[in-house]
Amino acid sequence: MNHFSSVFKSESTRSHKFRRQKRSKVKSNGRIKKTAEDAESTSSDDDFFGQAVEHLKQAKEIRVIGKNGDGYRTVIVRLNDVDILMVADSGADVNIMDEHQFKAFSHRTHDKPILANSNVKLRTLQHKLEVKGEFQTVIRNETCGKPTKFVVVSGRIQSPPLISKETLIALGMLKIQPDGSFAEPNDLAISEERHNANTVKQAEGEQDMNNLITKYSHLFQGIGKIEDRKNGREILSRFHMKPGVVPVAQKPRQVPYYLQEPLKTWLDLDIQEDIFEKVPDDEPVTWCSPLVVQPKPRFAGLLSDQPEPHMIRASVDLRVPNQYMERSRISQAPILEDFIHKFHDCTIWTKLDLRRDTTS
């Protein structure tokens, strides 16, 4: 408090101290040094606050310059009948505005937007964004317009609304040229000789692959089964049940109506390819486990009224028979480190499609 009171003094207080310092000078020479120190301290404080004010002015000017420099990122477009300043974000997958911006837009437009539920999930590099809903609107510029969708997030996004890459391209505000023809050519471009060498090498690799497929074409037909090539017969597996166990026939589970037709087609195809064997009608049912049918995860949101057989996954619930089965062999399943140790020096890899695997 004494430091600030010595700086922000009233004029009367300063005059009173000056008179007191003057009388002290007459009385004793020993007081002169102290008086000079007080005057120097006051002058130093004034200089300090003067420099602080000047620094704040410079910081404010720098901030204003930076704000004006961001103007190239924003564009003015029209949503319905309202002109809005937005950020052209080519890295955004969807159009975004926060709930406060949506509320302000709703008050200004005559066509009141309806906020509907949204299945969109948004995530930044640091955290997830809570989606509040989405609405349909028409976005326009001076050349064209496009019906589009905006996703509304909770809270504030600390920026104007974002226009996605897809919308920017549709409005003619963004164009991506893979060969970079918008720029002036220079010596750092990809050389034609190197490009031709890579093309020839790729063509040779494709030719080698085609030769292998042609040479072993018999291995790429049908599903195939494990065979005992040495003895020339099929390999059959036998399950050993515990003695005295009574077979359990469980009730079948209900299959959704829209999955019944692709399931029937899937079973018929597997019977034709000798993967499944149909139980004769005159044989009694002993062990019977329910079939679980569901769409595959990657087709869950794309299933139409008539899904294809390869879009479903059917498996048998064998938990009850497993309780009465005797284990003939116990083996440890390999882990990721086992494969890394075994294939650490491999250079050629093959992608194997197991979409028709019947063992899982």
Are 87 and 53 part of one and the same domain?
Answer: no
37 and 88 co-located in one domain: no
* Whole-Å CA distances, 70 to 73, 88, 172: 6, 11, 21
Phi, psi at 234, each rounded to 5°: -75, 155
d(CA 173, CA 182): 15
Spatial distance between the Cα atoms of 327 and 331, rounded to a whole number of angstroms: 10
Final residue of a structural domain among 116, 142, 170: 170
Average pLDDT over residues 334-341: 87
* Residue where a domain stops, chosen among 43, 69, 95: 69
Task: Identify whether residues 108 and 164 lie together within a single domain.
Answer: yes
Residue 60 has pLDDT above 60, yes or no: no
Does residue 243 sit in the same domain as residue 166? no
pLDDT at 254: 92
**Are 15 and 53 within one domain?**
yes
Res. 297: pLDDT tops 60: yes
* Number of folded domains that form the chain: 3
Over residues 93-99, mean pLDDT: 92
Give percent of the chain with pLDDT exceeding 70. Answer: 72
Q: Is residue 240 domain-resident?
A: yes
Q: Please state the rounded mean pLDDT for residues 114-118.
A: 91
Instruction: Tell me if 352 is assigned to some domain.
Output: no
Q: How far is CA 334 from CA 322, 331, 338, 343, 353, in A?
A: 22, 9, 6, 13, 20
Q: Is 291 found in the same domain as 252?
A: yes
Is the model more confident about 130 or about 200? 130
- Tell me what pLDDT residue 273 has: 81
Q: Examine the domain organization and report whether 85 and 144 are in the same domain.
A: yes
Q: Is residue 38 part of a domain?
A: yes
pLDDT averaged over the chain? Answer: 76
Domain that holds residue 95: 80-170
Q: Which of 41-50, 236-245, 288-297, 305-314 has the lowest mean pLDDT?
A: 41-50
pLDDT at 197: 56
Lowest-pLDDT choice from 38-47, 153-162, 219-228: 38-47
- Assess if residue 14 is contained within a domain: yes
Cβ-based neighbour number of residue 312 at 10 Å: 21
From residue 321, alpha-carbon distances to 44, 241, 313, 327 in Å are: 92, 8, 21, 12
Is the pLDDT at 308 greater than 70? The verdict is yes
Residues 98 and 45 in one domain: no
What is the spatial distance between Cα 254 and Cα 250, in angstroms, rounded to a whole number? Answer: 13
pLDDT of residue 139: 94
In a domain, 10, yes or no: yes
Q: Which helix (H) or strand (E) holds 42?
A: helix 32-69
In this predicted structure, the answer to whether residue 18 has a pLDDT above a threshold of 50 is: no
| Residues 116 and 158 occupy one common structural domain | yes
Domain limit, last residue, from 36, 69, 102: 69
Is residue 45 one of the residues assigned to a domain? Answer: yes
Within a domain: 154: yes
How do residues 28-38 score in pLDDT, each as one tens digit? 444 333 333 44
- CATH code, domain with 86: 2.40.70.10
- pLDDT of 40 reads 45
User: Does 48 share its domain with 96?
Assistant: no
Nearest in space to 160 (alpha carbons), one of 65, 92, 220, 110: 92
Average pLDDT over residues 179-197: 72
Q: For 300-316, what is the mean pLDDT?
A: 79
The answer to whether residue 95 is domain-embedded is: yes
Where residue 319 sits, what CATH number does that domain have?
A: 3.10.10.10
Mark whether 59 and 85 lie in a shared domain: no
62 & 88 share domain = no
pLDDT of residue 246: 92
Identify whether the C-beta of residue 116 lies closer than 8 Å to the C-beta of residue 134: yes
